[in-house]
Chain A
Amino acid sequence: MKLGILAAVAGLILLGLAVYPLYGFVTGFLKNPLNITETQTNCNGTIGILFNITYNNEVEMNNATIDLKLIYSNGKSINNVLFSGNLYQNETVYKCIPAYYFENATQYEFSITGKIAGLYNFNITEVNKIG
């Protein structure tokens, strides 16, 4: 009985320690979700769309990648990696994608993948239809 109580207490302490960064991430995510703005601009001489992404969460995201996947009417798709690395609070990512990439695209998907505090794999994908 004593062994069981000891194990349960150790388990509850560990659970508390493990849940703490997750709680911080979820509450931060609800208050300040990822901020993505798109503006038309000039990308190295061609017209393009500038993506401005700001990570607002207090809890860092390790091994993060931000992808933009474009799906075309012929069924083909192109994946653009906008960011790769660790995301810290107020980290801002700028990436310009030439406008011709969006021609004939029927759908684009924003995907953010990473490890919350290096512990929990997380993925959020936003699917947007064009037209």
Chain B
Amino acid sequence: MDKEKIYWIIKQIFLGILEGIFYSIIYVYLLPYLLNVLSSSLSSQIPLLGLPFSSDIYLYIGLFVGLDVVARIMKGTIYNPLLRASSSLIGLLIVLSYFNGGILSVGPISTSSGQVYITLDLSLILLIYVAFIIAPGIIIPFIEYFVENKR
């Protein structure tokens, strides 16, 4: 194996790790955190959690990093779009599970007059997010692969 090839592999591993950490921050930390901010803004009785998925966070980071590193090394093969699409699918599963299908339920919140329950349907936001951010992440790697291999 020549030096250039080794350098290319190290570069792809490094970029894959960065990409995996980026996706982990977006899916495992940032989106659940924003939802948490919205829930706690509706009631001060709901504590603002610093780190959702705290017990599984390393598993998710490992999955995203692993998939992105292998996808980058497998560039030019069908495994590349498959692994990139898998990464987006895991993101979709995390978002769907955390957003409870788009339904945000808060309560019971104790007030001076009684107990309050709030339900807010955020499925529109979830739909836009899935259609414009997750779906392209699943479809575009395949389009890129077939366009590149047609040349």
Contacts and interface: CB of A to CB of B under 8 A. Distances in A.
Contacts of A10: 132
A125 B117 contact: yes
Contacts of A19: 125
Give chain A's interface secondary structure class: helix
Interface in A107-131: 119-129
Nearest to A120: B121
B119 A8 contact: no
Contacts, number: 77
Contact of B132 (A14, A29, A129): A14
A8 B144 CA distance: 16
A47 interface: no
Nearest to A14: B128
Contacts of A121: 119-121
Nearest to B105: A123
Contacts of A123: 117-120
Interface residues of B, number: 29
A26 interface: yes
Interface residues of A, number: 27
A122 B2 CA distance: 62
A1 B108 CA distance: 45
B141 to A, nearest CB: 9
A129 B114 CA distance: 7
B41 A26 contact: yes
28 contacts: A3-B140, A4-B137, A7-B135, A7-B140, A8-B132, A8-B136, A11-B128, A11-B133, A12-B132, A14-B128, A14-B132, A15-B125, A15-B129, A15-B132, A26-B38, A121-B120, A123-B118, A123-B120, A124-B116, A124-B117, A124-B118, A124-B119, A126-B114, A126-B115, A127-B114, A127-B117, A128-B114, A129-B114
Interchain residue pairs A-B with the least CB separation, the first 3: A11-B132, A128-B114, A121-B121
